[in-house]
Structure 1
Amino acid sequence: MADEESPPAPEEPTEKPGDHAEDGLDLARALTRASARSTPVRKPRKKGGGARPAPGRSSGAHPDERDPQPLDTTVGRIVADHGWDLNLRVQGVFARWAEIVGPEIAAHTTPESFADGRLVVRTDSTAWATQLRLLAPSVVRRLNEDLGHGTVTVIEILGPHGPSWKRGSRSVRDGRGPRDTYG
């Protein structure tokens, strides 16, 4: 085995810039080094997820924005980005209405809408509307404990819907129905 010659080492670049070794490996190495130094790291895109790694860059041992994220973190970020936080909390109050006001009041009242600090609540009778008007300050206080101070400023309490006299066999065009029964 001592008779075999080892392959010749690639020639070093000569002093002339246009001269290269016949196999071209020195030119390939020089181009690779130059492109690695000049390739910038890409910044994260605004929409569509994390950043793409630059050539030659891979994810390390520590988590970064390109790794899979937990669903609650992702949904929380979407809610915060779109400003849906207050709306979701208010809808949560609507879903937990019986917990907040108690089962007896919840059986006779229904929250209908919330806008600009005004909560609209519908009752099933005028007696419950009067009762809820008396309890309004404590209900506002309890709602603000859940939603944040000053979120609910006024509760608008509506009585029951009266029957419509617009249709039926005894309706009269432009008639308003009986006025002495539902007042």
Structure 2
Amino acid sequence: MSDQSAEKPSAGPSEPRKDAGPAGPELARAVLDAALAKRRANFQQPRHRTDQGGGSGKRLTGYSGPGPDPRDPQLFGVMLERIMKQRGWQKPAAEATVFGAWEKVVGEDIAKHSRPIKLDDGVLTVEAESTAWATQLRMLAGKLLKSIAAEVGHNVVKKLNIHGPAAPSWNKGPRRVQGRGPRDTYG
């Protein structure tokens, strides 16, 4: 064994290997330079239009120079409006605004004492916190319809169905006795 180790000198950490190519950072630099050279070569080759068939020898025209470009960053609100219009989501968005921005749509005072329950085929059901408020809202129905139309658009809400608070339900539990329910006693 000692004869074999004497024949081949070993390369130490300070001695570079002469039989191999670059190693470590030099190898990484060489690979990066090769990739950049390949990219430059591909970029400088002329591109031909293939949609006209046969290659006309003209380069593709792209967007260059100052001015608006569809690839430029856009405001989120602008893009959201464009997508909603393309997909036909204007009416569902307007209906959602009635529920999401109720205070803005009808005003702070009315919003404190009422809430929208459902919107079905242009009929908005509103629940008031008391029967007195329900009566007041019925008198203001025309004004409410105008303010809703001004905020979310026309023909989203065509009619208001206003009622007072819901009465407690006595239909609790899996077994229920038929009849009118409790009257003067809760026994």
Q: Same fold (TM over 0.5)?
A: yes
1:40 aligns with 2:45: no
* Pairing 1:5-154 to 2, within 5 Å after superposition: 36=48, 39-40=50-51, 56-61=60-65, 62-154=67-159
Q: Secondary structure of the residue that 1:107 maps to in structure 2?
A: helix
Deviation at residue 111 of structure 1 after TM alignment: 0.8
1:157 aligns with 2:168: no
- State how far apart, in whole Å, the 2-side matches of 1:97 and 1:71 are: 24
Contact kept? 2:105, 2:151, Cα under 8 Å: no
Residue identity over aligned pairs, in percent, reads: 39
Deviation at residue 139 of structure 1 after TM alignment: 0.8
Q: CA RMSD in A?
A: 3.2
Q: Secondary structure of the residue that 1:156 maps to in structure 2?
A: strand
- State how far apart, in whole Å, the 1-side matches of 2:108 and 2:71 are: 48
Deviation at residue 67 of structure 1 after TM alignment: 4.0
Could you tell me which runs of 5 or more consecutive residues in structure 2 were left unpaired when the two chains were aligned. Answer: 1-44, 53-57
User: Higher helix fraction: Structure 1 or Structure 2?
Assistant: 2
Deviation at residue 118 of structure 1 after TM alignment: 1.2
Deviation at residue 156 of structure 1 after TM alignment: 0.7
Distance change >3 Å, CA 60–CA 78, structure 1 → 2: same
Distance change >3 Å, CA 76–CA 160, structure 1 → 2: same
Query: What TM-score do you get using the length of structure 2 for normalisation?
Result: 0.57
Deviation at residue 110 of structure 1 after TM alignment: 0.3
Deviation at residue 141 of structure 1 after TM alignment: 1.5
- State how far apart, in whole Å, the 2-side matches of 1:56 and 1:135 are: 63
- State how far apart, in whole Å, the 2-side matches of 1:166 and 1:57 are: 72
Distance change >3 Å, CA 67–CA 39, structure 1 → 2: farther
- State how far apart, in whole Å, the 2-side matches of 1:165 and 1:86 are: 38
Distance change >3 Å, CA 176–CA 80, structure 1 → 2: farther
1:177 aligns with 2:184: no
Deviations for 1:141-178, whole angstroms, at most 9, x for unmatched residues? 1111222334322101122121121237xx85234423
Query: What TM-score do you get using the length of structure 1 for normalisation?
Result: 0.58
Deviation at residue 137 of structure 1 after TM alignment: 1.1
Deviations for 1:6-25, whole angstroms, at most 9, x for unmatched residues? xxxxxxxxxxxxxxxxxxxx
Contact kept? 1:165, 1:176, Cα under 8 Å: no
- State how far apart, in whole Å, the 1-side matches of 2:73 and 2:160 are: 44
Partner of 1:18: none
Distance change >3 Å, CA 69–CA 97, structure 1 → 2: closer
The aligned length equals: 134
Instruction: Find runs of 4+ consecutive structure 1 residues off by over 4 angstroms.
Output: 54-57
- State how far apart, in whole Å, the 1-side matches of 2:140 and 2:101 are: 18
- State how far apart, in whole Å, the 2-side matches of 1:79 and 1:71 are: 12
